[in-house]
Amino acid sequence: MSLAPLGPRDPLVLEGFVPYPEDLAAHYRSAGYWTDQTMAEPLFESAARLPDKTAIVAGETRRTYGELTGRILRIAAGLSDLGVRRGDRVVVHLPNIPEFVEFVYACWEIGAVPVFAPAAHRRTEIEHFVRVAEASAYVTVSRHDGADLAALAAELKEAWPVLRHTIVLDPQGGGEALERLLASEPLPHERRAVASDVALLQLSGGTTGQPKMIPHTHETYLHSVRQSIPLCGISESTVQLIAVPVCHSMSARSPGFLGVLAVGGTVVLAPNGSPDSVFPLIEEHRITQSSVVPPIVLAWLNSSLKERYDLSSLESLHVGGARLSAEAARRVRPELDVVLQQGFGMAEGLVNYNPLDVDEERSLTCQGRPISPGDELLVLDDEGNEVPRGTPGHLLTRGPTTIRGYFRAPEQNARSFTEDGFYRTGDIVQQDELGYLSVVGRSKDQINRGGEKVAPEEVENFILGHPAVYDASVVGVEDRLLGERVKAYVILRQDAGKVNLGVIRGYLRERGLAAYKLPDALEIVTEFPQTAIGKVSKRLQRAQA
Ligand code: J2J
């Protein structure tokens, strides 16, 4: 085994990171939850063992472990030559292409901190990350889904002097900017970070304003990855399909490409989860495992294409991110001939899975048990008292994979975390006698659009910017395929011209809001229903819809 030489000993000091109390950190280490390993190391161990095995496939591109780590060390050298250092933030804003994996590992190799930005994000979100995280580099593709991201990169560089480097790849990856980085002499593989350093910033759907940044350390994230590997049956023979955005925590660590690359399996990237794009890949690459959101499962179940392709290699399907109806769950095994593994996780940390061999009833109705023995769960009533098992309550959690605070967000932290460091998930759950959780509701003002999280307040603020709009209220309404979709109620100003869904969507898109946050429906009203104390009643608005 190739042990990386000892690197720096002093932990990174990153202003705005909420640390773990020392006694708890010491406990997590002595219990073996946190180990002295950095994010890049498991991959390099696989590469030392299996240099010629295929690590990653996307379209026509196929890279062995040796090739992948070689490219990572060249990109790391290139970034380092540009002046990117340990602790520097690098916004990695890429679709499902191998370069996403290469850039994040290259960052870890030099101790830099990638911000995992979904490809769907646009100027509003990206600018927020650059500003708040004070990113020194931004990596993107020149075009994505009709958006000119090369222009965005140029604008951001002009507007934010901290952003010293923009690296713009071709739309499908590759291109001159990448070739320049790859031309560097590879760095030797060495440890250039401490395991307790912040390793990455993941994004939260949030409930207010802009998405919050979630700072995971090498220790917290790798613990989650290591626990996921056996629970999801991941091994060297795994061929994993990634069909949701590769930066999402399901794709990264649950069990994700990190889990698969740690044990020498193969990762296949797909641009999306639609049957016509993934069924041929399942057949061609003999895919064994995938982690997907419920709308993808429904699309697979309802597709006539499933008779046309050989999907028999698929052993298990991890479904999470949003509620899977029991009715859809029941169809998975008979119609797709795979083991359904439901999970319930959150980028903030806590992840729960059903074991692969859980009993039939729980496999359909439960969303798992915490994956770490160090996870602490509280299920509380409205007054903050613990409820008996079997009774729904608010879920709070603390543990070795869960952050103690969002990055540089003290006000949000005061609301989202208790004084003793429990994260208020905003989910209403019920725990059965064996500790299995079912997610039965939500107390946070958030829309879950098929796994993509939308903060109504953020969308409202944008709609309010339109000159014809007097007031706006955004709610999630039921949708057969997505679970929920975004509906906006709008009160217009007196002399407003013609306003309809198209006008508002066009306006929000122009203002640089990600497409999945745009309202799917719009209703012009003259007043909003009110609660007893005169607040807008979103409950009534949802019911009206
Ligand atoms: C209902 N709601 C669910 C489920 C998540 C693994 C799996 C999922 C995520 C994830 C993740 C749900 N039923 N099965 O990060 O590592 C809702 C809850 C939760 C929020 C978190 C992982 N699974 N949810 O979905 O940060 O409301 O993480 O708090 O995107 O999704 O969303 P996110």
What's residue 1's pLDDT? Answer: 45
Distance of CA 465 from the midpoint of ligand 1 (Å): 31
CA distance 342 to 76: 36
pLDDT tens figures, 220-236: 999 999 999 999 999 99
Nearest alpha carbon to residue 244 among 234, 256, 236? 256
Q: Which two tokens stand for residue 287?
A: 């895919």
Helix (H) or strand (E) holding 11: none
Q: What domains, with CATH codes, occur in the chain?
A: 62-193 (3.40.50.980), 239-442 (3.40.50.12780), 447-544 (3.30.300.30)
Mutate to test the pocket of ligand 1, among 200, 250, 291, 344 (most ligand atoms within 8 A of CB): 344
- State yes or no: pLDDT of 3 exceeds 60: no
**Average of per-residue pLDDT across 250-255:** 98
**Average of per-residue pLDDT across 373-402:** 98
Atom of ligand 1 nearest to the CA of 348: 26
What's residue 534's pLDDT? Answer: 81
CA distance 39 to 222: 7
- State yes or no: pLDDT of 409 exceeds 50: yes
pTM for this model (two decimals): 0.96
- State yes or no: pLDDT of 148 exceeds 70: yes
What's residue 23's pLDDT? Answer: 97
**Residue spans of beta strands (DSSP E) within 118-191:** 137-141, 143-144, 147-148, 165-169
Percent of the chain at pLDDT > 90 equals: 94
- State yes or no: pLDDT of 395 exceeds 90: yes
Distance of CA 322 from the midpoint of ligand 1 (Å): 6
CA distance 337 to 351: 25
Residue 89 CB contacts under 8 Å (≥ 6 apart), including other chains: 112, 113, 114, 115, 133, 134, 135, 136, 137, 201
- State yes or no: pLDDT of 5 exceeds 70: no
Distance of CA 320 from the midpoint of ligand 1 (Å): 6
- State yes or no: pLDDT of 4 exceeds 60: no
- State yes or no: pLDDT of 207 exceeds 90: no
Atom of ligand 1 nearest to the CA of 446: 27
Which residue's CA is minimally distant from atom 7 of ligand 1?
345
Percent of the chain at pLDDT > 70 equals: 99
Mean pLDDT computed over every residue of the chain: 96
- Ligand 1 environment, Cβ below 6 A: 204-205, 249-250, 254, 320-323, 342-347, 351, 367, 425, 427, 439, 442, 448, 453
